[in-house]
């Protein structure tokens, strides 16, 4: 379901009851894991996120985003009405209404957790910021998105970055202050620079800003007749303006693509 700073969030269906689930947060590097109890809505939800910062605490938070139609079958709107937050330290779920905020995210909306805040890319040209109590704030993006879908957001060098896909280029923005919602344009990269001629036929792509330098990781997908898809991973250095092919993920790879860096410290509290 999600990955955050070396931990994975999984959803496991119970063998005794195919409609019941539990969440499991695990560290693959140490083979430690923790079971998180599900809520009454968990089996109906797909937008779930994990928040964890080993530099701050060995405890984690799980975020559930409850659609309006899950609460009321007659309400067919897909925007989020309630955010559930599980604290591994407290061992309980709390729930907070999104109030008057129109929180409209999709299953695969990019998300970033740092500084005790969960940021999610939303439709309607917004970034959603949630604290660890589930209180919601909206941040207006610096420019309307060209096309459909949500923005790509990443954390790099202690700041939130946003990539806006244009018709012929990608613009990279950094959030200066979440309280004011001010953004600074950091770079613009043309599609020709980013993909070179060999990959200009790619139909869809996602941008990840490297967490420690001015590099860009690009996941580009080409659709073929019959519904087959081929995904390639490229890197682009903003300083040198050099593009490199990294790897081919092969056929039938599907989103979401989760960033994962192994965490070898024993920093998962109450793990088995």
Which comes out higher in pLDDT, residue 211 or 150? 211
On the question of pLDDT at 255 being above 80, the answer is: no
Rounded CA gap, 112 and 259, in Å? Answer: 11
pTM of the model: 0.86
Instruction: Give the pLDDT score at 40.
Output: 85
Angle at 111 between CA 131 and CA 236, to 5 degrees: 140
pLDDT of residue 186: 92
pLDDT attached to residue 136? 85
For residue 237, pLDDT over 80 is answered with yes
More confident residue, 120 or 203: 120
pLDDT score at 14? 74
For residue 217, pLDDT beyond 70: yes
* Distance between CA atoms of residues 42 and 20, nearest Å: 8
pLDDT at residue 122 in the model: 82
Q: How many CA atoms lie within 13 A of 201 on its CB side?
A: 6
Q: Which of 153, 140, 144 is nearest to 181 (CA)?
A: 140
Share of the chain above pLDDT 90, in %: 27
Give me the chain's average pLDDT, please.
83
pLDDT at 92: 94
Give the pLDDT confidence of 179-202 residue by residue, as tens digits. Answer: 888 999 999 988 888 887 665 555
Higher per-residue confidence, 56 vs 229: 56
- For range 3-9, the mean pLDDT: 92
Query: Confidence class of residue 231 from pLDDT cuts 50, 70 and 90?
Result: confident
Q: Does the pLDDT at position 31 exceed 60?
A: yes
Q: Confidence class of residue 47 from pLDDT cuts 50, 70 and 90?
A: confident
DSSP secondary structure letters along the chain: -EEETTEEEEEEEETTEEEEEEEEEEETTTTEEEEE---TTGGG---EEEEE-TTT-S-EEEEEEEEHHHH-TT----SEEEEEEEETTTTEEEEEE-TT--B---TT--EEEETTEEEEEETTTEEEEE-TT--EEEEE-SS--SSSSPPEEEEETTEEEEEEE-SSEEEEEEEEETTTTEEEEEEEEEHHHHHTGGGTT--EEEEEE-SSSSEEEEEEEEE-TTS-EEEEEEEEETTTTEEEEEEEEEET--SPPPP-----S---TT--
At 196 the pLDDT is 74
Q: What pLDDT, on a 0 to 100 scale, did the predictor assign at position 62?
A: 95
- State the SS3 of 132-162: CCCCEEEEECCCCCCCCCCCEEEEECCEEEE
């Amino acid at each position: 379901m999600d990955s955050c700073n070396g931990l994975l969030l999984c959803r496991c269906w119970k063998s005794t009851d195919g409609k019941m689930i539990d969440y499991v947060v695990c560290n693959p590097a140490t083979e430690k894991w923790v079971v998180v109890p599900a809520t009454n809505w968990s089996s109906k939800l797909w937008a779930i996120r994990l928040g964890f910062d080993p530099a701050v605490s060995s405890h984690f938070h799980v975020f559930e985003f409850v659609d309006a139609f899950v609460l009321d079958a007659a309400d067919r709107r897909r925007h989020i009405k309630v955010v559930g937050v599980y604290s591994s330290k407290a061992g309980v779920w709390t729930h907070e209404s999104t109030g008057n905020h129109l929180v409209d995210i999709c299953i695969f909306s990019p998300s970033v957790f740092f500084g005790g805040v969960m940021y999610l890319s939303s439709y309607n040209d917004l970034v959603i910021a949630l604290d660890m109590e589930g209180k919601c704030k909206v941040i207006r993006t610096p420019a309307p998105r060209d096309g459909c879908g949500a923005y790509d957001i990443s954390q790099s060098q202690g700041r939130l970055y946003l990539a806006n896909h244009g018709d012929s280029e990608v613009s990279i923005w950094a959030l200066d202050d979440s309280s004011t919602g001010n953004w600074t344009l950091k770079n613009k990269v043309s599609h020709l620079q980013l993909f070179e001629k060999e990959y200009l036929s790619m139909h869809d792509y996602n941008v990840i800003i490297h967490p420690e330098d001015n590099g860009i990781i690009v996941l580009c997908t080409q659709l073929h007749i019959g519904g087959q898809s081929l995904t390639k991973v490229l890197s682009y250095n903003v300083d040198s303006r050099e593009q490199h092919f990294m790897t081919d993920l092969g056929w039938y790879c599907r989103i979401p693509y989760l960033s994962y860096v192994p965490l070898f410290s024993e920093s998962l509290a109450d793990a088995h």
